[in-house]
């Protein structure tokens, strides 16, 4: 391979072979107006990138997750029960045109394919050619964020350098310190291509302290197949997948030493290998046509195939990504949407693709943002924000939350898509409040995420209270021995039950968790064993082991408070003067008429009564008769304010 060459910007940047060579130039000598040729002109380092950067400040429509149990704020400890909804607001802060690559007198407008973000404010974006012929490159962007509120925050994005590749394209990249790892394809001899050989390759390019490419020739290794589809640097190893090639040279998984680039392992014959991701538990490789996920150990030894689903991810040449996050695998299966698996391959959540067109509205990429971010007021919050790049359907987002059983689940927003029809979202990644979207022929989109607690309009929501009474003879007047209250309220997308152990006047206006004075002369009840459970019918409760005892009649049913206590621990929060139980709307089961049955166990020493003027209620009988069975009707929930 030949040394790099310094040429004038006046020279055509595509055909530079034969220009005079200059040896030994230092990195610092490269000025802003100069280009550098590598690999006999196959790579052009351009210090004046041909991209059109537009810094903007445009709010987008999408906002508001539609679940008020939302995510724990990350500021308070988990045992404080600080569940809240997230109001995600996205602001388009910059967009830039796709990279133009000049080759053999032709200008190729390439499409953005992949993005990597550094911790010090740089982003690397890869490009390939959508049509026939290989052309592509890399653009390096520097971005700075001036903190403020969601309205005042400012993000500046600048393209500082690019590399244009003659007859080569880049499909996937990774970044680690002062090196950029690239996977792609080329029919240029400078990239290792030989006549009748496959064209896939991976390469490593050196970066200086300013995240610019050093004018030294990169390490390049030719691989089998027509395309290298993904690349991942993890620890001291580089992992690359390639798709299919000519007969006898199928794609597969390659592992290289990241120190000296020596080959460590290659597993060939893996058809339609699309993506690889790695963590300490192993290598996870995704194949298309049809969907398969296979696990290997970190040295490349087969562990087992953990997922195999015929009929999914059937577009064999389409972009598809796999992401390892905590105990989960997120698989972007293109035309079949997203699958969330555990690391044994068990399916946990399936999200269908968001659009109608299986060719253009597809799930190409998945990203998880679990960083500490700034909310709309500039305060730190933490959330698990799941982002999907869905082709011409744009970007969709979801919350990943833990339900009352500690299981991760995906919660969709009421309106959770942006950038629809603007380009084709091929890849998405984010760090902190910044999101980068490789938007195909539309180039790169940069978004800022603002978060704030959702604001709810509860003016039309259900709210009613009944009461609990001291055990004893009420002489036909249940109001004479009132010692506490049970309040029901729809709060956002939750149904909350408050049990207070102090009395309130009959005209009390319900305000959840309001301040009040405790009357020391009034006997309070023991709420240590209190519990609440909802269901559509008494038969539903009969199916819950050890919850009800007694005869078939409603009044003969006794509540096993110990069982109810165990079931209610995840829902229960201690509040001043009582306890609160919070049930997500999507976990409630209503009957055919929209009613829901509630059993409240109010603690030792109390009978339960329903308010004759409100929801109907009956007492239980027997030893464990401190329960109240209430039918709630016309339960409306709060609406998100816009």
Tell me, what's the pLDDT at 404?
56
Q: Name the pairing type of β-strands 219-222 and 228-234.
A: unpaired
Q: Tokens at residue 168, please?
A: 């080569």
Domains contained in the chain, CATH given: 5-273+311-454 (2.130.10), 457-640 (no CATH)
Tell me, what's the pLDDT at 584?
84
Residue 626, classified by CB atoms within 10 Å of its CB into exposed (0-12), middle (13-18) or buried (19+), is: buried
* Cα-based angle 533, 538, 543 (whole degrees, multiple of 5): 80
Closest CA to 333 of 279, 293, 384, 368: 293
Tell me, what's the pLDDT at 1?
34
Tell me, what's the pLDDT at 465?
76
Whole-angstrom distance, CA of residue 302 vs CA of residue 324: 18
Tell me, what's the pLDDT at 609?
64
Q: Is residue 334 within 8 Å of 315, Cβ to Cβ?
A: yes
Tell me, what's the pLDDT at 476?
55
Whole-angstrom distance, CA of residue 140 vs CA of residue 96: 12
Beta carbons within 8 Å of 413's beta carbon, 6+ residues apart? 62, 63, 64, 65, 66, 88, 397, 398, 399
Say which residue the tokens 């002062």 belong to.
178
DSSP 375: B
Whole-angstrom distance, CA of residue 183 vs CA of residue 204: 9
Q: Name the pairing type of β-strands 627-632 and 572-575.
A: unpaired
Say which residue the tokens 């971005």 belong to.
143
Whole-angstrom distance, CA of residue 481 vs CA of residue 496: 25
Q: Tokens at residue 195, please?
A: 């006549």
**Residue ranges of E strands in 297-346:** 302-309, 321-325, 328-332, 338-342
Whole-angstrom distance, CA of residue 273 vs CA of residue 320: 10
Whole-angstrom distance, CA of residue 437 vs CA of residue 428: 5
Q: Tokens at residue 41, please?
A: 């002109």
Q: How many residues does the chain have?
A: 642
Tell me, what's the pLDDT at 158?
94
CA distances from 454 to 43, 69, 86, 90 (A): 50, 11, 6, 14
Closest CA to 286 of 236, 336, 355: 336
DSSP sequence for 170-223 = EEEEEEETTEEEEEEEE--GGGT--TTS--EEEEEEEB-TTSPBPSSPPEEEE-
Residue 266, classified by CB atoms within 10 Å of its CB into exposed (0-12), middle (13-18) or buried (19+), is: middle
User: Which parts of the chain have pLDDT scores under 70?
Assistant: 1-33, 61-87, 245-249, 376, 403-405, 413-415, 452-455, 471-482, 502-523, 552-556, 605, 607-625, 640-642
Q: Would you call 585 helix, strand, or coil by DSSP?
A: helix
Q: Which residues pair with 55 in a beta bridge?
A: 94
Closest CA to 83 of 403, 489, 517: 403
Tell me, what's the pLDDT at 230?
97
Closest CA to 597 of 558, 564, 630, 635: 630
Beta carbons within 8 Å of 549's beta carbon, 6+ residues apart? 557, 558, 560, 622, 624
CA distances from 245 to 147, 227, 242, 449 (A): 49, 8, 9, 41
Q: Would you call 11 helix, strand, or coil by DSSP?
A: coil
Tell me, what's the pLDDT at 18?
23
Query: How much of the chain is in helix, strand and coil states, percent to nearest 5?
Result: 5, 50, 45
Q: Is residue 283 within 8 Å of 301, Cβ to Cβ?
A: no
Whole-angstrom distance, CA of residue 12 vs CA of residue 291: 45
């Amino acid at each position: 391979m030949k040394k790099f060459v310094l040429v004038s910007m006046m020279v055509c940047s595509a055909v530079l072979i034969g220009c005079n060579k200059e040896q030994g130039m230092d990195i610092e000598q490269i000025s802003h107006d100069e280009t550098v040729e590598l690999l006999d002109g196959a790579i052009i380092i351009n210090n004046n990138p041909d991209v059109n950067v537009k810094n903007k400040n445009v709010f987008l429509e999408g906002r508001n997750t539609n679940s008020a149990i939302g995510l724990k704020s990350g500021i308070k400890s988990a045992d404080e029960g600080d569940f809240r909804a997230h109001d995600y607001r996205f602001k388009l802060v910059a967009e830039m045109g796709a990279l133009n690559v000049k080759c053999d007198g032709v200008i190729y407008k390439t499409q953005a394919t992949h993005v990597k973000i550094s911790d010090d404010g740089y982003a690397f974006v890869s490009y390939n050619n959508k049509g026939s012929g290989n052309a592509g490159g890399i653009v390096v962007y520097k971005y700075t964020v001036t903190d403020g509120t969601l309205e005042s925050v400012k993000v500046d994005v600048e393209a500082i350098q690019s590399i244009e590749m003659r007859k080569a394209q880049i499909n996937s990249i990774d970044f680690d310190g002062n090196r950029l790892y690239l996977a792609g394809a080329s029919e240029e001899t400078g990239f290792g291509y030989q006549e009748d050989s496959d064209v896939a390759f991976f390469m490593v390019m050196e970066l200086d302290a300013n995240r610019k490419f050093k004018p030294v020739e990169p390490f390049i290794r030719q691989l089998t197949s027509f395309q290298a589809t993904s690349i991942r640097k993890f620890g001291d190893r580089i992992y690359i997948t390639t798709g299919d090639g000519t007969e006898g040279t199928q794609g597969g998984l390659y592992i290289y030493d990241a120190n000296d680039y020596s080959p460590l392992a290659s597993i060939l014959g893996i058809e339609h290998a699309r993506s690889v991701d790695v963590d300490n538990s192993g290598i996870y490789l995704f194949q298309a046509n049809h969907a398969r996920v296979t696990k290997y150990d970190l040295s490349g030894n087969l562990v087992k195939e953990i997922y195999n689903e015929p009929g999914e991810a059937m577009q064999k040449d389409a972009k598809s990504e796999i992401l390892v996050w905590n105990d989960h695998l997120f698989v972007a299966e293109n035309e079949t949407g997203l699958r969330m698996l555990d690391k044994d391959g068990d399916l946990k959540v399936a999200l269908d693709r968001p659009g109608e067109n299986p060719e253009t509205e597809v799930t190409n990429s998945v990203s998880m943002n679990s960083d500490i971010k700034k909310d709309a007021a500039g305060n730190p919050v933490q959330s698990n924000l799941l982002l999907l790049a869905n082709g011409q359907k744009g970007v969709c987002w979801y919350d990943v939350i833990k339900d009352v059983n500690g299981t991760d689940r995906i919660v969709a927003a009421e309106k959770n898509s942006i950038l629809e029809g603007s380009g084709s979202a091929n890849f998405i990644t984010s760090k902190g409040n910044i999101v980068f979207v490789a938007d195909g022929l539309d180039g790169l989109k940069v978004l800022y995420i603002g978060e704030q607690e959702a604001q709810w309009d509860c003016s039309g929501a259900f709210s009613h209270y009944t009461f609990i009474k001291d055990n004893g003879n009420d002489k036909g007047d249940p109001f004479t021995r009132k010692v506490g209250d049970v309040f029901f309220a729809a709060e956002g997308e939750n149904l909350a039950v408050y049990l207070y152990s102090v009395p309130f006047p009959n005209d009390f206006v319900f305000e959840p968790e309001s301040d009040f004075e405790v009357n020391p002369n009034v006997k309070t009840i023991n709420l240590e064993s209190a519990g609440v459970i909802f269901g559509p019918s008494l038969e539903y409760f009969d199916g819950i082991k050890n919850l009800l005892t007694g005869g078939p009649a409603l009044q003969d049913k006794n509540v096993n408070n110990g069982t109810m206590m165990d079931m209610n621990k995840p829902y229960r929060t201690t509040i001043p003067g009582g306890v609160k139980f919070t049930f997500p709307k999507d976990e409630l089961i209503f009957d055919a008429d929209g009613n829901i049955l509630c059993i409240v166990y109010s603690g030792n020493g109390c009978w339960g009564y329903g308010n004759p003027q409100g929801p109907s209620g009956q007492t239980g009988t027997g030893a464990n008769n401190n329960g109240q069975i209430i039918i709630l009707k016309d339960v409306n929930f709060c609406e998100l304010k816009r």
